[in-house]
Amino acid sequence: MKELIDKIKLLDFGITGDELSSSAIIHEQTALKSCGFPQIPDEVLEFLKYYNGFLAEGRCIFGIDIKKHFLYDILGENVTAENPNPNDILLLGTTATTCIAWRASKQDYLLIDKSTFMVLHKFKDFKQAVKYILKIDD
Amino acid sequence: MRKRKKSNNQLRREEEAISAAFTYKLHALFQTRYREYKRNNYKSKDKGGDKKDNHACKIKKTSAQSLKNIKSELEILLAFYGVGTPHIAPPNQTPLSREQICMMDIDFEGLYITPNQESLSGPYRKAKENSLKYDIPHTASSSEYDLNQVPAWEEMKKFNSFRLMHHTICHRLSKMNYPIEKLNQLNFIDLIDIINDHNREHPEHRMPCQRSRFLKMFSVCYGAEFTEKMTLLGKEQEAKDFLSYAYYINHPAKRCPPELKYISNLFSIHHIKNRKFANELDDYAKVNDFSNLSLCMSFPHHKILHSPTEIDLNHNIVFFGGFLREFQIIRNPEKERLYLQGKLRNPSLSNGGR
C-alpha cells in the first residue's frame, strides 16, 4: 500500500475528502449492512485512511462522506446505482464508462461496465484497481 | 405585451435556483432509495426467519411511491427546460458482447489496464517470451503484416483510437518476429497487450482516446462560445483553465500544471446515446463519435441525466452548462466537419501562456 500511496503523491493532483474517523467508518458500515450491501473490505479502509476518496479528471474512488451521502460516498453511490446484485457487489469507484467493485462472494475486485454491469476484467487486488482509476501504469 | 429581457444577474440567479432544486431532488432520491433498500433488506431477512431489526421496523412503506414521484418530477422538469426526455428502448435489441463493451471503453477512456496474461493466445505468448529472452533478427517487415487477417481487428478497426494504432501494432509484431502465417490466431487480448506494452514504453505517445480528442475539438470549435457562456455563469477563470487543460491533455509530453487539474472535475463528457443503448445506433462503434458526445457540468447536471432514469439529452446540445438555454451551446455540425477535415484551426487554443 505504501508504494501505491507514494505513486499517488507524485501525481500532484486530485481532490480528496476529509480525514477519516473511526466513527465515520462504523456509521458507514452499519448503514451498508442495514441496506444489505457487503461491508467495505479492510484493504479499502486502509487506503481510505490515506485518501478518503479521490477525484481526478472525472475519475473517482469513492470515500466515506457521511455529511453528503449522495456525492461520491460509498453508501450514496451504491444506493443510487442500478446495481442488479447489491447483496454481493459493492461499487468502490467510477470512470465515465466503468466502475470498480468488490465482489464479496468471491473476495475479488472487478472492473464492471457502468451501463450493463457486465464484468470486464478481474483485478489482481485493490491496488491494481486504484491504478486503473487514477491512470497509473501498472 | 413584450417580455423584458432578463439581465445576466437575473439569469444566473434563476439558473442557480433551478440547479439547487435539482440537487434537492437528487438528495431526496438518495433518501428514498436508502429507505427502500433498508425495507427490502429487512423484508428478505424477515423471510429468512432472522430476528426483526428495531430500526427497520420504523421504516415507512411509502418509499416506492415517493421514488416514483421524484422520478416523474425530475422527468417533467427536464422536459420543461428542453434538456431531454426519458429513454425508451426499442424491443428486441441484441446485447453487446463483452469484447465490444471493452472496445467502446478503451476507445473512449484510453488503455490503463494490463490484460490477464493467461488470456493471451499461445503463438503470441510464445513470440513475446522469445523476443524478451533472445535477440532474434526480423524476418518480416511491418508492412508485410496484414491486420485484416486478424478476426478481432475487424471489430477494433471500427474505432478511431485503434485505427490510429494500426502501424504501431504491425511494427511491434514484426519486432517480436511473430509468424505471419499465424496472424489469424491473434485474439483481442493479444492486440490489447501490444498496445499496453507500447503505452508503457512510450508514455508520451500513448494511444489517443476519444475523450481527449473530443475535448480538443470542443476547444477549437466552441472555445469562444464556451468562454462567453461560462462568463455569463460567473466562471470566467474556470473557462480559461478548462481550455488550457484541454491543451495539455492533448500534449502528453508537456506536464499539466497541478493547479489546472481541478478543472476536469467540474465537467463531464456525456454520451447522448448512452453506451448501454449503443446497439440502437446504425453502428455501435459510433457511440464515441463527436456527434454523440456533449460536455456537461458534472453536478448536478450530468448526474441528473443518469439518475433516476436514463435521459436522452437533446442532440443539439454540445455544452450543457445550465438548464436555461442561455447556458447551453448548440452543436454546429458544419464546424465539426471542417475540424475533422483539418480545415479548422483555432489560434486561441494554447496553454494560456503557462
**B82-132 residue pLDDT tens:** 999 999 888 878 889 999 999 999 999 898 888 888 999 999 999 999 988
Facing B33 at nearest CB: one of A34, A79, A120? A79
- Residue of chain B whose Cα is closest to the Cα of A133: B112
Q: Please state the length of chain A.
A: 138
Q: What whole-number distance in Å separates Cα of residue B179 and Cα of residue B171?
A: 13
The number of angstroms, rounded, from the C-alpha of B98 to the middle of its chain's C-alpha atoms is 17
Interface membership of A30 toward B (CB under 8 Å): no
Min Cα separation B33/chain A (Å): 6
SS3 state at A91 = strand
Phi and psi torsions of B319, nearest 5°:
-130, 115
Q: Is the pLDDT of residue A39 over 70?
A: yes
| Partner residues linked to B86 by β-bridges | B311
Residues B255 and B221 sit within 8 Å (Cβ to Cβ): no
Residue A51: other Cβ atoms inside 10 A: 21
- Residue of chain A whose Cα is closest to the Cα of B203: A137
List the one residue out of B179, B117, B176, B121 whose CA is nearest residue B152: B121
Per-residue pLDDT of chain B (354 residues; tens, 9 = 90+): 566 788 899 999 999 999 999 999 888 888 888 988 998 887 776 665 444 444 444 445 556 777 888 888 888 989 999 999 999 888 878 889 999 999 999 999 898 888 888 999 999 999 999 988 887 777 788 999 999 999 999 999 999 999 999 999 999 999 999 999 999 999 999 999 999 999 999 988 889 999 999 999 999 999 999 999 999 999 999 999 999 988 888 887 777 787 787 788 889 999 999 888 899 999 999 999 999 999 999 889 998 998 778 889 999 999 999 999 999 999 999 999 999 998 887 655 555 545
Question: Based on the number of CB atoms within 10 Å of its own CB, is A47 exposed (0-12), middle (13-18) or buried (19 or more)?
Answer: buried
CB pairs under 8 A, 24+ apart, for B327-332?
B327/B11, B327/B15, B327/B229, B327/B232, B327/B233, B328/B229, B329/B222, B329/B225, B329/B226, B329/B229, B331/B291, B332/B221, B332/B222
List the one residue out of A84, A89, A61, A63 whose CA is nearest residue A75: A63
Q: Is the pLDDT of residue A137 over 80?
A: no
Pairing between strand B317-320 and A89-94?
unpaired
For the structural domain made of A2-133, what CATH number should be given?
3.40.1580.10
Min Cα separation A53/chain B (Å): 13
Residue A87: other Cβ atoms inside 10 A: 15
Residues B157 and B192 sit within 8 Å (Cβ to Cβ): no
Min Cα separation A47/chain B (Å): 20
- Residue of chain A whose Cα is closest to the Cα of B307: A80
pLDDT value, residue B325: 94
- All three cell numbers of B7, joined, read 439581465
Residues B276 and A116 sit within 8 Å (Cβ to Cβ): yes
Q: How confident is the model at residue A70 (pLDDT cuts 50, 70, 90)?
A: low
Contacts of A116 in chain B (CB under 8 A): 95-96, 101, 276
Torsional sign, CA B91, B97, B103, B109? positive
The number of angstroms, rounded, from the C-alpha of B70 to the middle of its chain's C-alpha atoms is 27
- Residue of chain A whose Cα is closest to the Cα of B104: A97
Min Cα separation A21/chain B (Å): 22
- Residue of chain B whose Cα is closest to the Cα of A68: B27
pLDDT value, residue B339: 94
Min Cα separation B265/chain A (Å): 5
Interface membership of B54 toward A (CB under 8 Å): no
Q: What whole-number distance in Å separates Cα of residue B222 and Cα of residue B316?
A: 13
Phi and psi torsions of A122, nearest 5°:
-115, 120
Residues A58 and A96 sit within 8 Å (Cβ to Cβ): yes
- Surface of A (70-89) touching B: CB under 8 A: 70-71, 75-76, 79-80, 86
Q: What whole-number distance in Å separates Cα of residue A119 and Cα of residue A102?
A: 11
Residue A101: other Cβ atoms inside 10 A: 27
ipTM rounded to 2 decimals: 0.89
Interface membership of A26 toward B (CB under 8 Å): no
Question: Based on the number of CB atoms within 10 Å of its own CB, is A116 exposed (0-12), middle (13-18) or buried (19 or more)?
Answer: middle
Instruction: Name the one residue in this structure whose C-alpha cell is 458500515.
Output: A29
Pairing between strand B293-297 and B317-320?
parallel
Q: What whole-number distance in Å separates Cα of residue B102 and Cα of residue B107?
A: 8
Phi and psi torsions of A62, nearest 5°:
-70, 150
